[in-house]
Chain A
Amino acid sequence: MSIDELVQGVLNQKRRYLARLISLIEDEDIQAMEALSQLYKHTGKGHIIGVTGPPGSGKSSLVTKLTAEFRKRSKTIGIICVDPSSPFTGGALLGDRIRMQEHSLDDEVYVRSMGTRGHLGGLARATSDAVRAVDAFGKDIIFVETVGTGQSEVEVVDVAHTVIVTDVPGSGDDIQAIKAGIMEIADIFVVNKSDLAGADKKVTEINAMLDIDPKEQAWRPPVLLTNARTGEGIPELVDNILAHLEHLKGSGLLQKKGLQRSRDELQELMKYKLTKELSQKLQGKPEYEKAIKMIAKRKQDPYTVAEQLIAEFLFSETR
């Protein structure tokens, strides 16, 4: 399959080409970057919704029910769900599709599972590019479901326009609610499993946390109760998601975030390229190996050696 075929296939909404492109992205194949650079101008249209929260808090079920509600409103859907890869074997069991069976034959829903492949932060390295591929394909709404997160996996905030943080009743006291990290990234809080005891208390605790925020906020994250099994609270959640997008557009935050994202991405890519180039140049060089030994023996220090190697290999040779 040539790059042009791949690009045309994605633009013509052929699912197999999208699947192929995402595989190439995951495998860090050079063709993926070439295809993405051609597709870039066709992206930026989809509303990207991040869903994050602890394992078993109902993220997949919530995404399934949200998908059903958005489908009722005639939106097309892409879903990228991330599950952890084993740090020992690199293998992964990707089980998020199990909850999504009701959409499995809907032509307007594309679901892709992804292992983290060693990446921390709640997403895979390939996730943001995969989202971009689905965006170019033309899906209106793109869900990014993170791995079950703890307190500090907040990377989804760099990918999504709207971040939903899910929690369940009975998960820790009000001090948990004022800790830094995941509680800070929510645009919308969802307390799922609303039928369990303590659901209202959880809502109160999160609201109390929001009350003591000293910053004047143009958007106060709503705290919503849902039951992803029965679908209770889902239409309200969709209304709030759409209201958040309107807020982003109306306040100029959407452009501002877009600019920041482009800056971050460009920096990230340059860093990646430079690092790769440097390690290729250093690969197998005797002075590199020697320097490592000297550092280990405490004859030299890593701070100075790093500066020297960069000056010698990255700058002097390319000039």
Chain B
Amino acid sequence: MSSSKKIRVLVAKPGLDGHDRGVKIVARALRDAGMEVIYTGLRQTPEMVVRAALDEGVHCIGLSILSGAHNALFPKIMELLKAEGVSDILVVGGGIIPEDDIPDLKKAGISEIFGPGTPLDVIVEYIKTNVKL
């Protein structure tokens, strides 16, 4: 019946961060893995990310950040999602994120963090395995 069901992913760059090469490479890899990837561009507030994710009906949000503001912005996004009553969207992150910060981010609800050098297949597989369609 729903044979045409597709994984929809929002890839977003929250905060003041102009480095978008990484996120474009990831977006391209997800596209090539057969997913529908919505990219909203640079400098998104947490509110904008959540609004876009809900309007677009995505199954996964991929956050990319290289500015160092992840400890503020990632949990804020999770908070807003919770306030909207959303618990079925998989949220993953990537960029320059120190090892020491990862446990707290995971506690806040980010499912996985992919650091520099992560093979693209690993990200694709992780999303395919963990999204709730």
**A residues at B contact (CB < 8 Å):** 15-16, 19-20, 22-23, 26-30, 85-86, 89-95, 97-98, 101, 104-105, 110-113, 115, 117
Contacts and interface: CB of A to CB of B under 8 A. Distances in A.
27 contacts: A19-B57, A20-B57, A23-B8, A28-B2, A30-B1, A86-B32, A86-B34, A89-B34, A90-B6, A91-B30, A91-B32, A91-B36, A93-B27, A93-B37, A94-B38, A95-B39, A97-B40, A98-B40, A101-B44, A104-B48, A104-B51, A105-B51, A112-B56, A113-B38, A113-B56, A115-B6, A115-B36
Nearest to A115: B36
A105 B49 CA distance: 10
Given A98-B40, A104-B48, A15 B54 contact: yes
Interface in B80-99: 84
B108 interface: no
A97 B38 contact: yes
Interface in B31-65: 31-41, 44, 47-48, 51-52, 54-57
B12 to A, nearest CB: 10
Contacts of B107: none
B41 A98 contact: yes
Contacts, number: 89
B129 interface: no
B21 interface: no
Nearest to B7: A91
A93 B55 contact: no
A117 B55 contact: no
SS class of chain B's interface: helix, strand, loop or mixed? mixed
A47 B37 CA distance: 29
B132 interface: no
B39 A19 contact: no
Contacts of B55: 15, 19, 110-112
A104 B4 contact: no
Contact of A105 (B8, B40, B48, B57): B48
Given A93-B39, A98-B41, 13 more contacts: A15-B55, A16-B84, A26-B6, A27-B5, A85-B36, A90-B6, A91-B35, A93-B27, A94-B38, A94-B39, A101-B41, A112-B55, A112-B57
Given A29-B1, A85-B36, A117-B6, A93 B52 contact: no
Contacts of B39: 93-95, 97-98
B28 interface: yes
B28 A93 contact: yes
A111 B54 CA distance: 10
Q: Which residue, of A93, A105, A115, A117, has the highest number of chain B Cβ atoms within 10 A?
A: A93
Nearest to B35: A91
Contact of B31 (A16, A86, A105): A86
B85 to A, nearest CB: 8
A91 B28 CA distance: 9
Q: Which residue, of B1, B6, B55, has the highest number of chain A Cβ atoms within 10 A?
A: B55
A35 to B, nearest CB: 14
Contacts of B27: 93
